Amino acid sequence: MTRKVVLAAFGWLASMALAHAAVPERPEAFQAEARLFVLDNRPEASRVVAVDLPAGKPVAEVSVPPRGMSLVATPSGRYLLVARGRDTDRQWLTVIWTGKEGGRWSRPVVVRSLLLGRGWNIGHGAEAYTLGDRLLAFAERDAVALHFPEESLAPEAAFQAERIRLPNPDHYHVVEAPEGVYLALLARGQVMLMDRGLKETRASFPCPVEHGEAFHGGTGRSFFACAKDVLAVEGGKELKRLPYPVGERIGAFLKGEGAFFGYSDSVQHLQRLDPVALTLTPIPLGGVFIRGKSDGKRLYVLLTDGRLQVREAREGRLLREVRVSRPFPEMDEDTGGAIYPDLAPWPERGLVYASLPHLGLVAEVDVERGRVVRYLRVGGSPTRLVLVRP
């Protein structure tokens, strides 16, 4: 055997030894009825933890920039938007694929990181803002709104958004009504009736320190919480102003059955808004409000002393209370990042989930039996919650 042949044979054997063996592909599928996403704002190392239900098993941890402020789901449930807090000049908007696919769940991953503005306001509660059939995200410090289809968040798509210039840097909310779109401005203390493209102003209403909106489809009336009263508007005209019946203002509304329930941080009452009779009725809580959610049939109110109240959503009557935690430490959440606990109802199963940042836990509560079923140990400082269902 010549030296050239020996070297060739040696090279062939070496290449065989170094080559990677082929492996079969397997479906990356998980069995779950729903998936709970938890924003863990531990210091300098925020993450979103995905927990498959009903097993209660964490299946993924997705790293996001520190001190997330908002966690919301798009209408399809296929994507989450995570907004960075406003205490840095690098205010990322992170897009997470939830793993929700037709007939199965796959592993959640980050599909896009956007650095397109400052002062993100991307949704209310667990739901992303929409305008028409598209998503809407406010870059409030830049006085710009991004209007884009959900499909542009897909990993294989180019992100394309219409940039809508806003009147000034402010805190914005929108309400879609038959007569147009109401644009609410907190700092300016104004509610503006706009065309559906947010280009033309048709009417304007004073509303100092506006924060909290509701729309009642049965009457076509829109409601805006101002500093001292609630402004009721119908057909583009002011209908009435409802003074607050107690010394507490409304900052947001929970939607009930034929009524809305106003609340704000640290209040001791809900305020029931009757959109037909145009009345506000105070409902004592017997404690201090820290977080609330509604599934349309039930109201869930978390108090600072660790009690979770379950109320019916027509009159706000108390049905039962469950102690989910020892009292929460004193806290004051600002726009630098989320620190408050949160709630995520699962009405089909009669459950509600409550994050407990001071304990590193999420409580699973059976609201029909009035007891804590178990605690999910996610660690860190769990704050915002989003439950995604098939």
Answer for the pair 108, 386: CB distance below 8 angstroms, yes or no.
no
How far, in Å, CA of 214 to CA of 276, rounded? Answer: 13
Buried/exposed 154-173: b ≥16 CB within 10 Å, e otherwise:
beeeeeebeebebeebbbbb
In this structure, what is the dihedral angle of CA atoms 213, 85, 305, 324, given to the nearest 10 degrees?
A: 100
Helix (H/G/I), strand (E/B), else coil: 196: coil
- pLDDT, residue 13, reads 47
Provide DSSP, 349-372.
GTEEEEEETTTTEEEEEETTTTEE
DSSP 20: P
DSSP 306: S
- CA-wise closest residue to 179 among 237, 130, 132: 237
pLDDT tens track for 255-269: 999 999 999 999 999
- CA-wise closest residue to 297 among 281, 276, 311: 311
How far, in Å, CA of 185 to CA of 140, rounded? Answer: 10
Answer for the pair 81, 72: CB distance below 8 angstroms, yes or no.
yes
Answer for the pair 51, 376: CB distance below 8 angstroms, yes or no.
yes
- pLDDT, residue 43, reads 81
Is cis: bond before 275, omega within 30 of 0? no
- pLDDT, residue 17, reads 53
pLDDT tens track for 289-319: 999 999 999 999 999 999 999 999 999 999 9
- pLDDT, residue 8, reads 52
CB-based contacts of 308, cutoff 8 Å, min separation 6: 300, 301, 302, 321, 322, 323, 324, 343, 352, 354, 363, 365
How far, in Å, CA of 282 to CA of 284, rounded? Answer: 6
Q: Mean pLDDT in runs of 10 for the chain (390 residues)?
A: 52 58 87 96 91 96 94 97 91 96 91 95 95 97 97 94 97 97 97 96 97 98 98 98 98 98 97 98 98 97 98 98 96 90 98 97 97 96 95
- CA-wise closest residue to 116 among 71, 159, 156: 159
